[in-house]
Amino acid sequence: MNSPLKRVAVACLLMFGLLMANVTYLGSVKAEGLRNDSRNVRMLFNRYNIDRGWITADNGKTTLAKTVDTGDKQFRFEREYPLGKPFTHVVGWFAPESASGIEAAMNRYLDGSHPDLVVRRAIDLVSGKPAKGASVDLTLNTKAQEVAYKDLAGTGKRGAVVALEPKTGKILAMVSVPSYDPNPLAKANKDTVNKAYNKLNKDDNKPLLNRAINLTFAPGSTFKTVTSAAYLSEDTSRDENTQVDAPDALPLPGTNISLPNYHGESCGGRATLVQALTISCNTPFAIMGMDVGYDKLKEQAEKFGVGQPLKIPMEVAPSDIGPDEGKAALAKTAIGQQSNQMTPLQMAMVAAGIANQGTVMKPYLVNKIMGPDGAEIDGTDPEELDEAVTPEVAGELTKMMISVVEHGTGGAARIPGITVAGKTGTAETLPGKPSHAWFISFAPVGDDPKVAVAVFVESGSAGNDATGGAVAAPIAHDVMQAVLGR
């Protein structure tokens, strides 16, 4: 080969090499970004051509989201949500340009792009049929979910309800109020979607937020269960009958202020642990928190899941007892105030862990995934998160929480013929603002608890009506009844 030909051959090889390198770069490094680029109109229209999998509950018997064929050549498939508002914050909504909830978290199964569906995708491609996604079945108990929404929305307040199956971590109900109709957000008409979304986004009540997992709040006296767990775990000789100091007001170290009991009530100077929790005295739990110390209280909270990263599969905002700010702050932390911030899901996990003899299970929403042919291709196995307390300590906590329902502030949660354990909470917010109302509970007490519930009502209402016992406990009662089929 002469020199000119050699130079041409080398140049061709070099250009071919550069071309291959660029193809490889675009296909492996830039592919995801190019696919998701908002200017990629081809991908946008492709998403309308996917027969997206359905979202169901009750082992596939209840349809929460489905795909309908509109017959339109350009916008062929559209999403519908037949049960609407009660399920919105779990199911979410899907439009080709955006998504939320399960629709977003499980998108690759629903649109058929997950590697588990590669064979099905190839069959659809060869046969010329529209791509079809897998269906996702959720753990929700639809009756409990609807009861939770109806009760909570009926208060006219913002809030959340979470119900768990203590032995598995299945999420039986997850409601956030205010809610919204997801159907206008799934339309092909971009103007309709934008108008509906902007209206929701500008709403002062922030309906787009899922208060069960996206936001954290002061847990108030429901956190006394965690403080009690740390106090009982520190010394095995302690039980429900252990006597503790219960002054009417507790001077806070390093300050000129004293911590009173709720509404200035007296707890008699001394009380047993069960008495203190039953009438929800503040001062003995503040003393317990200072005795245990910040590190052990934080460690105890972490064993219930506080601060641990959680996906259900949506991301859960981390709960936190706050930083170590000294003994006075620790006293308030121990009664669920100061910088102590929890999601309603987290407080449901506390109740579920106590119900399950101290073992906290990892919460989850996806029951199973079914391929387009109806065959199960994946399922969720229950997974232990941590051992929060020993079975003995869980037993003492349970007796104390039973007393709250049978003799104390949680009487509205009683269910005839069923032993219920619970704890009320009334968390102070800003000066002059109404308190948050909380209630955590589980039932039935025993070896086979079926449901643990956390109810949160944001800034419940003025005066005594703001208490967890008056506002939140009746909702928990109805949700537990729904799960138990009573």
CA distances from 470 to 279, 325, 403, 455 (A): 14, 33, 17, 12
355-389 pLDDT, tens digit each: 999 999 999 999 999 998 888 998 999 999 999 99
Q: Are 459 and 425 in contact (CB under 8 A)?
A: no
Tell me, what's the pLDDT at 283? 96
Q: What is the pTM of this model?
A: 0.89
How far apart CA 86 and CA 185 sit, in angstroms, is: 16
Closest CA to 34 of 21, 18, 49, 46: 46
Say if strands 94-95 and 243-246 run parallel, antiparallel, or are unpaired: unpaired
Which residues are catalytic, by number? 221
Mean pLDDT for each 10-residue chunk of the chain (486 residues)? 74 81 69 64 68 94 94 85 96 88 96 82 70 93 98 93 98 97 89 90 94 96 97 96 95 91 84 95 96 97 96 96 95 94 98 98 97 89 97 98 95 95 88 85 96 90 60 95 92
Tell me, what's the pLDDT at 41? 58
Return mean pLDDT, the chain.
90
Closest CA to 407 of 227, 272, 251, 242: 272
In sequence order, what DSSP letters do the residues of 208-264 get, joined into one string?
TS-TTTT--B--GGGGHHHHHHHHHHH-TT--TT-EEEE-SEEEPTTSS-EEEPGGG
Residue 475 makes CB contacts below 8 A (sequence gap 6+) with 148, 151, 152, 155, 161, 439, 455, 457
Tell me, what's the pLDDT at 27? 61
Tell me, what's the pLDDT at 482? 97
Tell me, what's the pLDDT at 142? 97
Cross-strand partners of 454: 162, 440
Tell me, what's the pLDDT at 39? 62
Tell me, what's the pLDDT at 462? 41
Tell me, what's the pLDDT at 34? 67
146-188 pLDDT, tens digit each: 999 999 999 889 999 999 999 999 999 999 999 999 999 998 8
86-105 pLDDT, tens digit each: 999 999 999 877 899 999 99
Closest CA to 336 of 259, 389, 395, 232: 259
